Amino acid sequence: MAHGFREMGAHYGRLRDLFNRYLVHQPAFWLTCTQTQTERLRRLGAQQPIELLPQPIAFDEPPAPADVRRELGISQDAVVLGMCGRLNNKQKGCDLFTRALSESPSDSPLRACTVLLIGEGQDGRDSVATLRSNGWSGKMHCTGWCAHPEKYLSTLDLLVMPSRFEGLPHVILEALYLGIPVAAADVDGLSDYLPSEWLFPKENATALRAKLLEFLQDQEAYLSALPELRQRVIRENAPQAVSKALESILIKFSKYIGLALRDEQSS
């Protein structure tokens, strides 16, 4: 519920958004994972209790980045920029990342970077072809579909998320846990979770290019927000922490339902 069907370009989007104004009243309570989703539910008319429940993340520690870089043929001293997930234009904005890079001047520091796309999708394959024909022929890598993307995620110096709409994708939390900074579009759950210094206006390849250059020009300053964000992920998104939070929420909701039933019976 972080964004409407019309915004996502769905068939009959306006009608489905209208129907949501009815559906939003049906549950006894709501669970969301971002404040953006909570605010949208309230705008749609939800009056039930709404609680925030962090998403759990858990995976085995990935191999050492140096080993994965050797596997991919990426230099150990290369600056690696990349995307991870479903590689499409409609939501994930592969085309924006491609334009930000391919339209950069020949003397831009971006031209020295390596690009890694982790995932699968026709738009991603098109991006690979475009970038290889625009100066990245030896510095363009794509894993295709993989069962454990965190293995490759750990090799990135910067995760790029130029999404046109987004909730709070697991890859953001996984990147932060692995100590990888993010450059993201200022949309939905991304703007709800990430510092403003890491955000750029959505659907703006020029602004994305400027953000990438900002990262390259002063990585130390860009990384200053990372330790606190990583600790937040460890504190809030570990399975044990989420389980405890869910238990607390369910106790709260059970009390609410009990009070509602008593009120109904007394009336």
What are the chain's domains? 13-56+238-266 (no CATH), 65-232 (3.40.50.2000)
Q: How many of the other CB atoms lie within 10 Å of CB of 11? A: 7
Q: Two tokens at 67?
A: 């080993």
Strands in the chain per DSSP E? 30-32, 50-52, 80-86, 114-120, 140-142, 158-161, 182-185, 199-200
pTM surpassing 0.95?
no
Given the structure tokens 């953001």, which residue do they identify?
A: 172
Strands in 87-242 per DSSP E? 114-120, 140-142, 158-161, 182-185, 199-200
pLDDT per residue, tens digit, the chain (267 aa), is 555 665 666 666 667 777 778 788 888 889 998 888 888 889 889 998 899 999 999 877 888 999 999 999 999 999 999 999 999 999 999 999 999 999 999 999 999 999 999 999 999 999 999 999 999 998 999 999 998 898 999 999 999 999 998 888 899 999 999 999 999 999 988 988 899 999 999 999 999 999 999 999 999 999 999 999 999 999 999 999 999 999 999 888 887 776 655 665 565
What whole-number distance in Å separates Cα of residue 145 and Cα of residue 156?
A: 17
What whole-number distance in Å separates Cα of residue 64 and Cα of residue 62?
A: 7
What whole-number distance in Å separates Cα of residue 205 and Cα of residue 88?
A: 15
Q: Which residues contact 139 (CB under 8 A, 6 or more apart)?
A: 78, 113, 114, 115
For residue 196, give the DSSP letter.
Answer: G
What whole-number distance in Å separates Cα of residue 48 and Cα of residue 157?
A: 42
Single out the residue of 210, 201, 200 nearest to residue 104, CA to CA: 210
Single out the residue of 126, 141, 132 nearest to residue 78, CA to CA: 141
**Nearest-10 crossing angle of helices 239-266, 226-237:** 60
- Tell me how far CA of residue 141 lies from CA of 4, 125, 127, 180, in angstroms: 34, 10, 11, 18
Q: Two tokens at 25?
A: 């009243």
